Chain A
Amino acid sequence: MKTKKVAFLGMCIALSMILSFVESQIPPLMAVPGVKVGLPNIVMVFMLYKIGAKETAIVSILRVILVGILFGTPLSMIYSLVGAALSLIGMILLKKTNLFAPITVSVAGGILHNIGQIATACLVMETAQIAYYLPVLLISGTIAGILIGLTAAMILKRLDKMKL
């Protein structure tokens, strides 16, 4: 791996950690657990298109672990890990089809993140009732995914000539 690439991936982790922190400072938009914009996903969608699936997966998982150690609890880290893993798998598969634009990949990432977290919550709390939040989370996840996708697409367009 070239030094430049190592440095760039480090920067991506740092940036996504900052975005996680910024997002944690935003007051909850709705009183439903899990409703959020998912700012770090801007970095993930960008990396998926600009660098590659493997690097995106590494950066995403490292971000969740680091943010969990710094600002979270072991429990919140588990929620984030399942959400991030499911979201990553979905985005990588959808991108591989080469049929869809970044915005759709981002929407899939957003809702899969929410589905992963709800499923974990059902398992942790041993209550299926939490699935009651799923419809709201699917709608909010789609809207968040569109916003993140638009942002990532703009960044991709502007950094089109960037080489690693």
Chain B
Amino acid sequence: MKKRDIILIASILVVAIAFFLIVELTKEEGAGVVVKVDGVEVAEYSLSKSGTYPLNGGTNILVIEDGRAYLSDANCPDKLCVHQGKISRTGEVITCLPNKLTVTVFGAEESVDLIS
């Protein structure tokens, strides 16, 4: 391993960490979540109202409580989407690759656009 290896690896890490910080620091509290299946919007829920909603014909169960959304169950074997935890800030997303399903938090300004 030479000096240029270290320089290249370090610069990749610096770019990745900078990218990570920018994403983390620009997040705001979200207003609601939008559910997409196969790229098509299927539902929208406000984060201020608690509830349990079966998604995609019951393949994934979405729970909203205390202003945060999470998936409580899924029919896939690895349940990665359940382990992704609770989301509440804009841009945060829970992904279920096997069911092609995403749950994304949107902010207050964006929801106005979606309604109008």
CB-defined contacts of A121 to chain B, threshold 8 Å: 95, 97
Kindly supply a per-residue 1/0 record for chain B positions 71-107, scoring 1 wherever the CB is within 8 Å of any chain A CB and 0 otherwise: 0000000101001110000011101011010101000
B43 within 8 A of A: no
Could you tell me if B102 and A100 are in contact, using CB atoms closer than 8 angstroms? no
Chain A residues with CB below 8 A from B91, complex form:
129, 132
Give the most central of A31, A32, A99, A124: most B CB within 10 Å: A31
Using known A-B contacts A28-B83, A33-B97, A101-B2, determine if residue A139 contacts B92 with beta carbons closer than 8 Å.
Answer: no
The digit string for B5-49, where 1 denotes a CB below 8 A from any CB of A, is 100110011011101100100000000000010111000000000
The answer to whether A127 touches B36 (Cβ under 8 A) is: yes
Q: Does B1 contact A (CB under 8 A)?
A: yes
Residue of A nearest to B21 (CB): A135
Within 8 A of B (CB), among A115-164: 121, 124-127, 129-130, 132-136, 138-139, 142, 146
Measured between C-beta atoms, what is the minimum distance from B13 to chain A in Å? 5
Supplied contacts A125-B39, A127-B104, A132-B93, 20 more A-B pairs, CB within 8 Å: A28-B80, A31-B80, A31-B83, A31-B85, A75-B98, A101-B1, A104-B1, A104-B8, A104-B9, A125-B97, A132-B23, A132-B91, A133-B95, A135-B17, A138-B16, A138-B19, A139-B13, A139-B16, A142-B12, A146-B9
B residues adjacent to A (C-beta < 8 A): 1-2, 4-5, 8-9, 12-13, 15-17, 19-20, 23, 36, 38-40, 78, 80, 83-85, 91-93, 95, 97-98, 100, 102, 104
Subset of 14 A-B contacts with CB under 8 Å: A33-B95, A75-B98, A99-B4, A100-B4, A101-B1, A101-B5, A125-B39, A125-B100, A127-B102, A129-B102, A130-B93, A134-B19, A139-B20, A142-B16
